[in-house]
Structure 1
Amino acid sequence: MTDENRFDRRMLEALVCPLTQSPLSYDAEAQELISKPARLAFPIRGGIPIMLVSEARQLDG
């Protein structure tokens, strides 16, 4: 992963799920921010989190 595509983990302190306002966890392998209460995974593209519910992936289980 290049520096320009790397997610700055300090952003996690400021970001919350847009649906539930709950904290997010970072999945480095999948490059996603996870909202467990909403069961959504928000993609990170080019180092930028895409915090749109319409762009999120529904989590299984």
Structure 2
Amino acid sequence: MIDKELLEILACPSCKADVVLDEPSARIVCTACGLRYPIRDGIPVMLIDEAEQGPPPRKL
């Protein structure tokens, strides 16, 4: 769905933290603030206005 190399260079536009791919929901999720960015036609939409607030990230 999303190229691994692209995912490695993307960062959350809100807090600048790393992001991970959530394939089942077709979203890119911030590991720090939990914002969830949609993927449309295979393109990540990394706009804060398009993001949804997800559950807080779990602490490991």
> Which residue number corresponds to residue 3 of structure 2?
8
Structure 1's unaligned 5+ residue stretches are 1-5
RMSD of aligned residue pairs (Cα, Å)? 1.2
* Number of residue pairs aligned between Structure 1 and Structure 2: 56
Pairwise mapping of residues 1-61 of structure 1 onto structure 2 (< 5 A)?
6-61=1-56
Q: How does the TM-score come out when normalised to structure 2?
A: 0.81
Q: Which has the higher contact order (CA 8 A, sep 6+)?
A: 1
Q: What secondary structure is seen at the aligned counterpart in 1 of 2:25?
A: coil
Q: CA deviation at 1:38?
A: 1.7
Cα deviation digits, residues 2-50 of structure 1 (max 9, x gap): xxxx322221111000111110011011111101322210011111000
Aligned amino acid, residue 22 of structure 1: A
